[in-house]
Amino acid sequence: MQQANPSQPTRVIARHPGAHLAWIGKGFLLLLAVLAIIVLVRSFFDNPQLFIQIVISGLQLGFVYALIALGYTMVYGIVRLINFAHGDVFMVGAFVSYFAVSYFNLHLWPTVVFPGIPVGVAVVIGSITVILLSMIVCAMMAAVIERVAYRPLRTAPRITALITAIGVSFFLEYFGALNFVFTARFIPYQRPFSVVTWYIKDGIHLVVAGQAAPIGSITFSNIAIIIMVASILMQVALQFLVRRTKTGKAMRATAFDKQTAQLMGINADQVISITFAIGAALAGMGGVLYAIAYPSINTLMGILPGLKAFVAAVLGGIGSIPGAFVGALIMGQAESLTAGYISTPMRDAIAFSILIIVLLVRPTGIFGEPEGEKA
Amino acid sequence: MLLEVENLNVYYGAIHALQGISFHVAEGEIVTLIGANGAGKSTTLRTISGLLRSRGGSIRFRDQEIGTVTPEQIVRLGISQVPEGRKIFAPLTVQENLEMGAYTRRDPSEIQATMQRVFASFPRLKERMNQLGGTLSGGEQQMLAMGRGLMSRPSLLLLDEPSMGLSPILTEEIFRIIREINSQGTSILLVEQNALMALSVAHRAYVLETGNIVVHGTAREVSENPQVKNAYLGIAS
């Protein structure tokens, strides 16, 4: 009889038993990808207008996801925490702008303060004010959440902080659902500016209010443009912050090695707070833009966009800022194409299938590098 | 007195890592702490720079108690630590690593001047200014770590095992630079396993054994101590 000897563990050199299964899986996925591409190319040639229309709505969605995904990836990069409350910060951003617009008419302040101001300028300044207010409130809220819920757990096992993040998420959702807070109802959202739609058919024309665009044309709205421009601007600003400023460099140093960063005189806690605040400000902006694009808000509205932005961050390689951006654009397209060519309810299934596939095939994502000795 | 450590007690959980050690560093000195692995050398440095908290005893820097000051404030007071294993910020460039060393300082032109002085001591760093820290060789990383430590213009530099993993030639070079830094007015507390090299540059030395100082004196006295000769210098007495 053989006795197990605890002091001399036997080395298992045999290959991972499921290795050949993984190859079959990868082959299957490749086949699926080829099939998807064939279907997409065929649909493009069948009806190019429809295809482009779907891509535009995918871009609009993708750029909103990008704003949320940046926060996930930045926070993960610096404290290795998936901040599941991030989607709810996005929701709060939408609600702050709702109260600012519907209760306080904040978007009209330029016409009140400067009565002679041109209408166009007033609308632009007013809308930017509303977005900025949401960003500031979200940033402050995230800094408080970090201080109260996450900082005391900085040295605790990672799973503890993760569970806490889920707790914070539920707290925001269901505290928000109370009647004296946001209520649990779907609330119609009043936009700070009106929608203008154009159609492309022999040049760009304005769609007259109350009339449909001609059949076979491609339409796009000022909302889509604003979302894309705002999201790209934020991405550029963030790159500048992280690459060029002292704070940004301190963020990267702290993300890499917190203790050594402290030896440089960097206040790591402060840097972490700033990271949470910046991520939340971006999510807050995303919340406002999302509510403007899909104007019905609810305290649970952050769950799905939050989860999808999380998938986008994982797809791009969590911890990587350009990765989050690219991942979000892919997610937007995947969702929009699925809704357009398969069925609307399928889009969520596709989004989470992407998560599962990424985790199976390339858990580090597109831009992610395998974690070295530093964990 | 620049640095005065008295009756310092540090625990890791239940382990009594430093059992009431006392030593001091005077202005302009190179003082070395030598001892074997696990004697408590790094623990001492990490406690001085505030990463670890003591449970009793005092650390005074220029007569100010710093035992409860945060690590980032201690840097501002003028103590800079070059950690064991160099701990370069791998994803940052050489220049950015040096900028992080000057994090506590504000005036860009003065920071630039310090950087030029660091480049004068370590010309290799200037050549590799825009390279990522993680791509440097071990010796270059040690130079970068020391340069980064100097960027805050410390009055006391804590060096933790600067010769670790370096070839004898590079070790010579590093120790030559340690002397040079000291001659420019920076006091140094040097922790080393390479006792021979450490004693050759230091003015005074302390020998640590399992959390206690067992021998101390001038570098010459310590290197002539039979116990030290036998255990650390590999010379039978």
Looking at the fold, whether B73 and B186 belong to one and the same domain comes out as yes
Last residue of a domain, one of B101, B121, B153: B153
B84 touches chain A (CB under 8 A): no
Q: Which residue has the higher pLDDT, A216 or A149?
A: A149
A258 to chain B, minimum CA–CA distance in Å?
A: 10
Closest in A259, A264, A374 to B100, CB measured: A264
Burial class (CB in 10 A: 0-12, 13-18, 19+), B226: exposed
**For position A302, what pLDDT does the model report?**
96
A370 touches chain B (CB under 8 A): no
Lowest-confidence region among A133-142, A354-363, B73-82: A354-363
Kindly determine whether residue A256 and residue B90, on different chains, have CB atoms separated by under 8 Å.
yes
B114 touches chain A (CB under 8 A): no
Q: Which residues of A touch B160 (CB under 8 A)?
A: none
Confidence check: pLDDT of A6 > 50 = no
Burial class (CB in 10 A: 0-12, 13-18, 19+), A356: exposed
B100 touches chain A (CB under 8 A): yes
Half-sphere exposure for A341 (CA within 13 Å, toward CB): 26
Range of the domain at B116: 88-153
Report the helix count and the strand count for chain A, using DSSP H and E: 13, 5
**For position A29, what pLDDT does the model report?**
82
Looking at the fold, whether B164 and B95 belong to one and the same domain comes out as no
In a domain, A369, yes or no: no
B91 to chain A, minimum CA–CA distance in Å?
A: 8
**For position A375, what pLDDT does the model report?**
33
Kindly determine whether residue B103 and residue A266, on different chains, have CB atoms separated by under 8 Å.
yes
A257 touches chain B (CB under 8 A): yes
In a domain, B149, yes or no: yes
Q: Which residues of A touch B81 (CB under 8 A)?
A: 263
**For position A374, what pLDDT does the model report?**
37
Q: Which residues of A touch B106 (CB under 8 A)?
A: none
A344 touches chain B (CB under 8 A): no
Burial class (CB in 10 A: 0-12, 13-18, 19+), A1: exposed
In a domain, B83, yes or no: no
**For position A13, what pLDDT does the model report?**
52
Residues A310 and A74: beta-carbon distance below 8 Å: no
Q: Which residues of A touch B48 (CB under 8 A)?
A: none
Query: Could you count the other beta carbons within 10 Å of the beta carbon of residue A374?
Result: 7
In a domain, B202, yes or no: yes
How many structural domains is chain B composed of? 2
Residues B58 and B233: beta-carbon distance below 8 Å: no
Per-residue pLDDT, averaged over A79-84, amounts to 94
Looking only at Cα atoms, what is the longest distance across chain A? 97
Long-range contacts of A31-34 (CB under 8 A, 24+ apart): none
Kindly determine whether residue B72 and residue A256, on different chains, have CB atoms separated by under 8 Å.
no
Looking at the fold, whether B108 and B5 belong to one and the same domain comes out as no
- Per the structure block, which two tokens stand in for B182? 């000291």
B35 touches chain A (CB under 8 A): no
A247 to chain B, minimum CA–CA distance in Å?
A: 9
Q: Smallest Cα–Cα separation from A161: which of A34, A276, A305, A41?
A: A276
Looking at the fold, whether B148 and B160 belong to one and the same domain comes out as no
In a domain, A249, yes or no: yes
Last residue of a domain, one of B125, B153, B181: B153
pLDDT band at A2 (very low <50, low <70, confident <90, very high): very low
CA triple B71-A271-B91, angle to 5 deg? 90
Last residue of a domain, one of B101, B136, B153: B153
Separation of alpha carbons B151 and B110, rounded Å:
10
Looking at the fold, whether B64 and B94 belong to one and the same domain comes out as no
H or E stretch at B52: none
**For position A30, what pLDDT does the model report?**
87
In a domain, A45, yes or no: no
Looking at the fold, whether B68 and B96 belong to one and the same domain comes out as no
Q: What is the bridge-based pairing of β-strands A204-206 and A218-221?
A: unpaired
**For position B122, what pLDDT does the model report?**
94
3-state helix, strand, coil in chain B (%, to 5): 40, 25, 35
Q: Smallest Cα–Cα separation from A101: which of A249, A349, A295?
A: A295
**For position A4, what pLDDT does the model report?**
45
Helix/strand/coil for B5: strand
Interface test with A, best of B46, B82, B93, B100 (most A CBs within 10 A): B100
Q: Smallest Cα–Cα separation from A81: which of A143, A170, A156, A175?
A: A156
Q: Smallest Cα–Cα separation from A140: which of A279, A306, A287?
A: A279
B164 touches chain A (CB under 8 A): no
In a domain, B22, yes or no: yes
**For position A16, what pLDDT does the model report?**
61
A259 to chain B, minimum CA–CA distance in Å?
A: 7
Confidence check: pLDDT of A5 > 50 = no
In a domain, B215, yes or no: yes
Per-residue pLDDT, averaged over A327-355, amounts to 94
Residue of A nearest to B83 (CA): A260
3-state helix, strand, coil in chain A (%, to 5): 70, 5, 30
Helix/strand/coil for A175: helix
Residue of B nearest to A266 (CA): B72
Separation of alpha carbons A362 and A314, rounded Å:
10
pLDDT tens-digit series, residues A32-54: 889 989 989 999 999 999 999 99
Separation of alpha carbons A292 and A224, rounded Å:
10
**For position A25, what pLDDT does the model report?**
75
The DSSP string of A24-63 is HHHHHHHHHHHHHHHHHHHHHHH-HHHHHHHHHHHHHHHH
**For position A339, what pLDDT does the model report?**
94
Sheet with A204-206, edge to edge strand ranges: A204-206, A197-200, A218-221
Place of tokens 């993993």: B165
B82 to chain A, minimum CA–CA distance in Å?
A: 8
Half-sphere exposure for A239 (CA within 13 Å, toward CB): 11
Looking at the fold, whether B159 and B236 belong to one and the same domain comes out as yes
Looking at the fold, whether B63 and B164 belong to one and the same domain comes out as yes
Kindly determine whether residue A265 and residue B89, on different chains, have CB atoms separated by under 8 Å.
no
Closest in A252, A261, A263 to B49, CB measured: A263
Residue B232 DSSP one-character state: T
Q: What is the mean pLDDT of chain A?
A: 91
Place of tokens 């000769």: B229
Looking at the fold, whether B66 and B162 belong to one and the same domain comes out as yes
Q: How confident is the prediction along chain B (237 residues), in pLDDT tens digits per residue?
A: 999 999 999 999 889 999 999 999 999 999 999 998 889 999 999 999 999 999 999 999 999 999 999 999 999 999 999 999 999 999 999 999 999 999 999 999 999 999 999 999 999 999 999 999 999 999 999 999 999 999 999 999 999 999 999 999 999 999 999 999 999 999 999 999 899 999 999 999 999 999 999 999 999 999 999 988 888 887 765
Residue of B nearest to A244 (CA): B96
A265 touches chain B (CB under 8 A): yes
In percent, how much of chain A has pLDDT > 70?
A: 93
Place of tokens 């009756």: B7
Range of the domain at A155: 60-359
Helix/strand/coil for A112: helix
Kindly determine whether residue B91 and residue A261, on different chains, have CB atoms separated by under 8 Å.
no
A243 touches chain B (CB under 8 A): no
In a domain, A97, yes or no: yes
In a domain, A38, yes or no: no
Count of residues making up chain A? 375
Q: Which residues of A touch B101 (CB under 8 A)?
A: 264
Looking at the fold, whether B24 and B137 belong to one and the same domain comes out as no
Q: Which residues of A touch B152 (CB under 8 A)?
A: 264-265
CA distances from B6 to A315, B54, B66, B218 (A): 54, 11, 12, 19
In a domain, A259, yes or no: yes
**For position B129, what pLDDT does the model report?**
95
CATH number of the domain bearing residue B212: 3.40.50.300
Looking at the fold, whether B170 and B217 belong to one and the same domain comes out as yes
**For position A15, what pLDDT does the model report?**
58
In a domain, A31, yes or no: no
φ, ψ at B18 (rounded to 5°): -120, 120
In a domain, A375, yes or no: no
Separation of alpha carbons B160 and B153, rounded Å:
18
- Per the structure block, which two tokens stand in for A244? 């060029």
B12 touches chain A (CB under 8 A): no
Confidence check: pLDDT of A20 > 80 = no
- A-B Cβ pairs (cutoff 8 Å, strict): 63
**What's the sign of the alpha-carbon dihedral B190, B193, B195, B200?**
negative
In a domain, B221, yes or no: yes
B108 touches chain A (CB under 8 A): no
In percent, how much of chain A has pLDDT > 90?
A: 79
How many structural domains is chain A composed of? 1
Looking at the fold, whether B33 and B111 belong to one and the same domain comes out as no
Respond yes or no on whether ipTM tops 0.85. yes
Kindly determine whether residue A253 and residue B51, on different chains, have CB atoms separated by under 8 Å.
no
**For position B237, what pLDDT does the model report?**
52
